[in-house]
């Protein structure tokens, strides 16, 4: 009798089972991080005004943000908006790393704020570069707030400390490239 009852209500049981699975998945997904923060620093032997001026021109970012291995035969860049300061935009196009854009959003004496977005919408970021004057140069603190809410896989991987350390490592390499550009 019970077997007959279960067999007649298979679709109802399947529906409730699937609803439970979907509810568990939705709960899991809602607990994943949506924004992660990366922090990096570097000391540069240059004066503050030179560093601020350099960072307020989006076109300058190409030389230190991307390595030669990022620039394949499809590599192209465009600039738009203002040449320097707020509204200065760098756009890149590449079959290898994808397309994206960076815009300088705010420039003050001690801070440059920028936004980046990738073509595949895996992430967008709002970064803050704080410039502190020292006795013989400047200290740059890069705080990168990555919005990964659009990518389930990025949110899933962001649970792992190694994921954030990898982003920190990439940002450290970029800051070292910046240091080389400004000190040479």
11 domain-assigned: no
81 domain-assigned: yes
Q: What is the pTM of this model?
A: 0.76
Range of the domain at 67: 33-183
Give how many domains the chain has, as a whole number. 1
Collect all residues with Cβ–Cβ distance below 8 Å to 172 and sequence separation of at least 6.
40, 42
73 domain-assigned: yes
CATH code, domain carrying 177: 3.30.530.20
94 domain-assigned: yes
- pLDDT per residue rounded down to tens, the chain (184 residues): 566 665 667 777 777 778 877 777 777 677 777 878 889 999 999 999 999 999 999 999 999 988 887 788 889 999 999 999 999 999 999 888 888 899 999 999 899 999 988 876 566 788 999 999 999 899 999 998 877 777 777 777 777 888 888 888 888 999 999 999 999 8
Beta strands in the chain (DSSP E): 35-44, 76-81, 88-93, 100-108, 111-118, 124-134, 137-147
Cα(112)–Cα(84) distance, integer angstroms: 12
3 domain-assigned: no
């Amino acid at each position: 009798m019970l077997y007959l009852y279960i067999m007649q209500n298979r679709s109802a049981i399947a529906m409730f089972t699937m609803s439970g699975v979907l509810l568990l998945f939705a709960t899991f997904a809602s607990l994943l991080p949506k924004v992660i923060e990366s922090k990096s620093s570097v000391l540069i032997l240059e004066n503050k005004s030179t560093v601020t001026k350099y960072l307020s021109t989006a076109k300058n970012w190409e030389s230190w943000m991307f390595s030669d291995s990022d620039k394949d035969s499809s590599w192209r860049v465009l600039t738009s908006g203002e040449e320097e300061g707020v509204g200065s935009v760098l756009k890149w196009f590449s079959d290898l790393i994808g397309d994206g854009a960076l815009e300088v959003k705010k420039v003050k004496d001690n801070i440059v704020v920028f936004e980046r977005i990738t073509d595949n919408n895996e992430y967008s970021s709002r970064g803050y570069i704080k410039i502190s004057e020292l006795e013989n140069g400047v200290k740059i603190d890069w705080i990168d707030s990555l919005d990964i809410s659009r990518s389930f896989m990025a949110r899933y991987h962001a649970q792992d400390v190694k994921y954030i350390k990898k982003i920190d490592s990439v940002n450290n390499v970029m800051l070292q490239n910046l240091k080389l550009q400004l000190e040479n």
